[in-house]
């Protein structure tokens, strides 16, 4: 899957692609058929591996046919029944509804994407720890509201980045396990209860499906969309901090500042002297686009109605796919940006020394305290850096 409208999309590979989604849909149908057989609901001769019945050409066919029913499940079920033989064809999809299959398949796809982002965030933390340690004491001018503010260090700036990435890692790590969706036509498990003869047996089959797929057991959540919005929020939070990092690099790489440089800049189609900070530009792009996608997921959730939402549910699929793929792309780009980042310590020292009036606050504070101004004005920077580094090392130890 590639997207010329989103340079770098190839980094996401097959994650959340049409093919991955169809594979996940088939995986859900296959797992449910296995649960029916293992649970003694369907006969033993209905046991069939459905995963080999769909070909690379089928997603396009399913997509074209999905317009009539509003989702691809009806077409997929018809295709699977057409290509199977015997009892399996009769028992495929029995007890499920299309939303069960779509939502559970989305959870499988999302799980892979979140796992990829989490691994990349851990790598960002490792790289940032190295940057903080390497440039801990390198003088650098701090800015507030774009203007020279106080003396600081490059280590302090990178520690702030690290703190933000750690926050994102914490949010990802605190996401509840992604849940199975199994409720039947109206979220009551009525069909499965009829098939099994008891509500307890129906719930047990739902739990068996979750266990088979490696998802969390859950009650039906057809119009309670927190699993979607929580995951979306976590992805947006990641792009927030990456956008902050990219913005700082973009500002620091301006010719008149010259403190930060990307390892390999992009060229210009007409100006041979340019080395554009394209990783930072593309990361900033993702950070600008992600919040609106997250807001769409919340709007969809807020528009839930009855036992299956009319349109709110449908808008989630492509929105979540786009947000997940773009987050995966930005995660990899941020690693590359940090690994290749160059810091001109001579230039940052020079910019600091050239700043006017940045010690006025120190003089005022020293006068109030009736003491001679200290030789430096870095406050508790060392303590702050140590605290953030300790947190990072603890995180890496826990995640290893």
Catalytic residue among 14, 268, 318, 399: 268
Q: What is the distance between the alpha carbons of residues 93 and 380, in angstroms, rounded to a whole number?
A: 62
Task: State the burial class of residue 11 (Cβ atoms within 10 Å of its Cβ: 0-12, 13-18, 19+).
Answer: middle
Catalytic residue among 308, 347, 349, 391: 308
**Residue 308 a catalytic site member:** yes
User: Contact, 107 vs 227, CB < 8 A?
Assistant: yes
Q: What is the distance between the alpha carbons of residues 170 and 288, in angstroms, rounded to a whole number?
A: 22
**Residue 326 a catalytic site member:** no
End-to-end CA distance of the chain: 31
Helix, strand, or coil here: 153? strand
* H or E element that contains 365: helix 360-369
- Phi first, then psi, for residue 215 (nearest 5°) are -105, 170
* Contacts of 260 by beta carbon, 8 Å cutoff, 6+ apart: 248, 249, 252, 253, 341, 342, 343, 344
User: Contact, 16 vs 321, CB < 8 A?
Assistant: yes
* Contacts of 324 by beta carbon, 8 Å cutoff, 6+ apart: 12, 15, 16, 109, 110, 113, 114, 235
Catalytic residues: 268, 308
């Amino acid at each position: 899957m590639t997207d010329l409208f989103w340079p770098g999309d190839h980094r996401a590979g097959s994650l959340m692609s049409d093919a991955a989604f169809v594979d996940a849909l088939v995986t859900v149908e296959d797992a449910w058929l296995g649960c029916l057989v293992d649970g003694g609901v369907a006969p033993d001769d209905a046991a069939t591996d459905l995963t080999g019945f769909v070909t690379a050409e089928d997603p396009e066919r399913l997509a074209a046919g999905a317009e009539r029913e509003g989702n691809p499940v009806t077409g997929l079920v018809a295709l699977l029944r057409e290509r199977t033989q015997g009892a399996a064809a009769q028992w495929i999809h029995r007890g499920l509804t299309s939303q069960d299959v779509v939502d559970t398949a989305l959870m499988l796809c999302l799980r892979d994407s979140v796992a990829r982002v989490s691994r990349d965030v851990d790598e960002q933390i490792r790289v940032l720890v190295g940057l903080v340690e390497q440039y801990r004491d390198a003088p650098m001018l701090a800015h507030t509201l774009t203007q020279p503010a106080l003396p600081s260090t490059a280590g302090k700036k990178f520690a702030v980045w690290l703190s933000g990435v750690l926050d994102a890692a914490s949010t990802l790590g605190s996401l509840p396990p992604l849940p199975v969706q199994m409720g039947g036509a109206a979220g009551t498990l009525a069909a499965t209860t009829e098939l099994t003869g008891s509500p307890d047996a129906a719930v047990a089959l739902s739990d068996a499906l979750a266990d088979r797929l490696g998802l969390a057991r859950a009650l039906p959540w057809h119009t309670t969309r927190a699993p979607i919005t929580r995951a979306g929020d976590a992805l947006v939070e990641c792009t927030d901090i990456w956008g902050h990092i990219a913005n700082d690099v973009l500002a620091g790489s301006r010719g008149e500042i010259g403190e930060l440089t990307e390892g390999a800049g992009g060229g210009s189609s007409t100006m041979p002297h340019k080395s554009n900070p394209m990783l930072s530009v593309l990361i900033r792009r993702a950070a600008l686009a992600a919040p609106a996608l997250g807001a769409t997921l919340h709007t969809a959730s807020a528009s839930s109605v009855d036992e299956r939402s009319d349109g709110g549910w449908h808008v989630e699929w492509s929105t979540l796919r786009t947000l997940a793929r773009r987050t995966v792309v930005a995660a990899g780009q941020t690693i590359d940006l940090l690994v290749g980042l160059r810091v001109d310590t001579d230039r940052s020292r020079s910019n600091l020394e050239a700043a006017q009036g940045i010690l006025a606050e120190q003089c005022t504070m020293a006068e109030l305290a009736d003491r001679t101004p200290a030789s430096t004005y870095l406050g508790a920077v060392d303590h702050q850096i140590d605290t953030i580094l300790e947190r990072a090392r603890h995180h890496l130890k826990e995640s290893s």
